[in-house]
Structure 1
């Protein structure tokens, strides 16, 4: 199918990320991807792990591109993507309110795992706070959260390239920027998540794993 959006970075990082997710996500899981972007990660991960039901979500303007990737792949474990944004007003959380999986046999509610890549440094900090407030409403008991991207530690950049990238981000949008790990971890702890892994990834990125 022509006209699909394409991200070269997704092609480069998809296998290292998949290796991490395989180690921490359940073998069978309802997975929510927040900020699915082009849809490339979803197709790659869902094809590799057919027992993951991979639910894409993003802002409305990205949904046609995501659908193009999902439709071309034709996978049975990638339902139609839905609109989702992290908002600060009128109250921090998700808008629109996302549909929550429900297992009629066990009575369990919520997603078993949530994944988001390269999103926190694009949002403003109030929206990052909104994302974690929203997560509190969609995670199942003992759910796992994985967030991939660049982070600062103790207020310091981990590389010159990250410093340059942060400058580029802030020149484009002063509200954006590489986030401090400690501040993000505090938001996670505030909704009952505990950090279980901080994995070094290629190109000065990290994959942070929390569990409820």
Structure 2
């Protein structure tokens, strides 16, 4: 399931998900980023360009960049307030291999031509919040933006054989579908098949904490 709300103690400068300098904070990102950093470090190329799509608050990329110093990280997000937060996090925790954030709607067609090529493309916790067509566009554009031998990685909750695998996942998926019937969890095999149709070779899914998965695929040389 998606990461449950954490118990959070007093944090100087933090109030209601926002720091006094404009940084936004997502509790789920703080909980999962160490696990994601370890998993991405295992699959990432030693050097090249890494594209993070739907970067959100910016709390992932500031953790990824120091751990993978051979990659130049490009964070992106379609929302101005999120890009402002990313900029604030980079200022607060700078790394020489993080570029300033740029605008990118990962579910809009055509972005591979303007935001590629990339040796690693990462996306977290988006596919279940968009329609199947939007998710298909996102996955196909990821494939198009990769360099030969490049890798795409998507993290989040997924169905297995069309079914949720925990009560928490079932409840969360039901809430999403109650508000937006055309959205909800995507099946891991559907993601793999979509990537395969786009020319990628899916790797074995990687189990992650909180019943989530990291789905990875690579582009043939």
Determine the structure 2 residue equivalent to 1:94.
Answer: 111
Q: How does 1:45-194 map to 2 (within 5 A)?
A: 45-61=64-80, 62-87=82-107, 92-94=109-111, 98-100=114-116, 110-194=117-201
Following TM superposition, by how much is the alpha carbon of 1:146 offset from its aligned partner in structure 2, in angstroms? 0.8
Distance 2:40 2:197 in 1: 23
Distance 2:23 2:68 in 1: 23
Following TM superposition, by how much is the alpha carbon of 1:175 offset from its aligned partner in structure 2, in angstroms? 2.7
| Structure with the higher fraction of residues in strand conformation | 1
Determine the structure 2 residue equivalent to 1:39.
Answer: 58
The alignment partner of 2:170 has SS state of helix
> Following superposition, which runs of at least 4 residues in structure 1 exceed 6 angstroms of deviation?
none
Distance 1:149 1:189 in 2: 19
| 1:45-69 deviation line (CA, Å, top 9, x unaligned) | 1122221211111113321111111
Bigger mean CA deviation after superposition, 184-193 or 173-182: 173-182
Q: How does 1:1-12 map to 2 (within 5 A)?
A: 2-12=21-31
The alignment partner of 2:162 has SS state of coil
Match of 2:48 among 22, 29, 35: 29
Q: TM-score if structure 1 supplies the norm length?
A: 0.87
Structure 2's unaligned 5+ residue stretches are 1-19
Distance 1:77 1:171 in 2: 42
| 1:116-145 deviation line (CA, Å, top 9, x unaligned) | 010111111111111123223311001111
| 1:28-60 deviation line (CA, Å, top 9, x unaligned) | 231001110110000011122221211111113
Distance 2:36 2:61 in 1: 12
- Aligned residues between the structures: 199
The alignment partner of 1:98 has SS state of helix
Match of 2:212 among 202, 205, 208: 205
Following TM superposition, by how much is the alpha carbon of 1:200 offset from its aligned partner in structure 2, in angstroms? 0.8
